[in-house]
Homo-oligomer: A and B are copies of this chain.
Amino acid sequence: MLTTTDPRTGVSAITALASTSPTEVDAVAERAVKAAAELRRRSREFRAALLDAIAASVEAARDTLVATADAETGLGAARLDGEVSRSAFQFTLFADAVREGSLVEAMIDHAAETSLGPAPDVRRMLVPIGPVAVFGSSNFPFAFSVLGGDTASAIAAGCPVVIKAHGSHVLTSQLSLEVLQEAARATHAPDGTFDAVFGQEAGLALVAHPAIRAASFTGSLAAAESLQRAIHTRPDPIPFFGELSSINPIVITEGAARARGADIAAGLFASFTGSAGQLCTKPGIAFIPEGPSGEAMVESLKGFTTAARPQVLLNDRIHASFGAISERLVKGGAAKVATGLTAPGSATASDDSSSGGFTVPPTVLETSAALLTQELAEECFGPLIVVARYSALEEVREAFRRIPKSLTATLHMEDDEAAITAELSPVMEASAGRIVFNGYPTGVRVTWAQHHGGPWPATDSQHTSVGVTAVRRFLRPVAWQNAPQAALPDELRDGYEAIPRRIDGLLVLPDPRSEG
């Protein structure tokens, strides 16, 4: 049987859940294939209604979801309550997007005499890719797990979902699956629209299964590699959408440090310790100018840190990694300049670990931009930041070229520093998928224009796992040539005017709101 562990105490308990057997994985995958065929026949309105029903089902289960996840993750009720809201919001946003209809990219080119001769009628739109395997992450038990954006994306695309539950929150995963299935029942979705498997072996079997047509994953590079190896054993490769690793550099200019160094230090502290630093967008490196303004900023950051209470990490693996990576960074040349309290009323780490909980102290390391290597830019899940002091902007630009690429890059600058912005913009754009100005990378707005992705190893650089365009991962184009009306999807038939369509090259909106 699978166990659940309270990260605050390290105490495990046996659950009623078991790892999914190979035979059960087969059965789940086959049900997903049948569901895919039926979902393909359902309308966009059905998908939207299902997404709305999930949002309602999530809201109805809010208290139990938060309590269950809090016991398994130690993230705290406030953060988890917010995450449930985000999860529900995501389903509603995607329901609206499905109704709006641009996501299917409907295009019609009527038969015509062209400069290349007579051309047939060609109509194109995006259709569901088929059953999707979704690998839940440890750090967002709702928003990047069973009730997360990947599930919302797959359903918005019209694909059934088989979730690989994260071993760090199995009870939350099972409860979340029931929430999804409740919504499926309420909307008469086909059997097999939602399912889940438990255990690493089941996850590997899932991505190798012929029924699965795409996989999405948020987690470590090592776990991603093992899944990709399993995918490479398939006769037919399938797309693998991984969000893997991100160091999220943040640059503070001399002007910004001078004008609002104390504010930025406070913001930076909140950003690198929020959710115990276990966010893929946590700022891992801060470039801070040498000189008195930068010095004051660093002192302020150290002050917040040394006064800070210890933080609970999600599981023993992340807890062990935090220690190992901090050691590697120090060995690599970064000086440990501040650590928080290790346990309430205690000053040493050993006392704390004797409590059995997965707690660590917030930590600030320091180095110089000129010495920053790829090794010193290793992602460390947990409340740790590396401060890299710089004397000239060129050192920052050079360092960006050496360190791994990220989901985000952030710049704090003043209005009169436009030249610096212009100088850093190209390297930030080449290094990250989202560029943040005078803010912090944590806190990812879920909206149309969001992009949560970036050059490798952040992701494969062309897709996002947050925001409405994440749906595109689970769609594929199909063109119909000279098709009779009855053989076309509704959205491509003559006279269908409910969604934006491109007709003979011209984008046409459903009603004259283009004056917008």
Residues of A within 8 A of B (CB): 37, 40, 82, 85-86, 89, 96, 100, 102, 105, 107-109, 115-116, 119-120, 122-124, 127, 129, 213, 236-239, 415, 418, 421-422, 425-426, 429, 432-439, 445-451, 453, 455-457, 460-462, 464, 467, 469, 475-484, 486-487, 500, 502-503, 505-509, 511-516
Report yes or no: A457 in contact with B509, Cβ–Cβ below 8 A.
Answer: no
Given the known A-B contacts A236-B457, A450-B124, A482-B439, are A487 and B425 also in contact in the complex, defined by CB atoms under 8 Å? yes
What 10 A-B pairs have minimum CB-CB distances, sorted nearest first?
A451-B479, A107-B449, A509-B514, A508-B516, A124-B449, A236-B456, A514-B514, A451-B477, A434-B479, A436-B481
Interface centre among A119, A213, A418, A477 (most CB of B within 10 A): A477
Among B82, B109, B127, B447, the residue within 8 A (CB) of A122 is B447
Report yes or no: B426 in contact with A37, Cβ–Cβ below 8 A.
Answer: yes
Report yes or no: A478 in contact with B429, Cβ–Cβ below 8 A.
Answer: yes
Among B129, B236, B514, the residue within 8 A (CB) of A513 is B514
Give Cα A432 to B482, complex, Å.
Answer: 16
Q: Which B residue sits closest to A228, measured CB to CB?
A: B237
Given the known A-B contacts A461-B129, A481-B439, A513-B506, are A123 and B487 also in contact in the complex, defined by CB atoms under 8 Å? no
Among B435, B505, B512, the residue within 8 A (CB) of A512 is B512
Given the known A-B contacts A462-B476, A514-B509, are A486 and B421 also in contact in the complex, defined by CB atoms under 8 Å? yes
Among B236, B239, B421, B479, the residue within 8 A (CB) of A462 is B239
Residue numbers in B under 8 Å from A237 (CB-CB): 456, 460
Given the known A-B contacts A89-B115, A236-B457, are A483 and B513 also in contact in the complex, defined by CB atoms under 8 Å? no
Report yes or no: A477 in contact with B464, Cβ–Cβ below 8 A.
Answer: yes
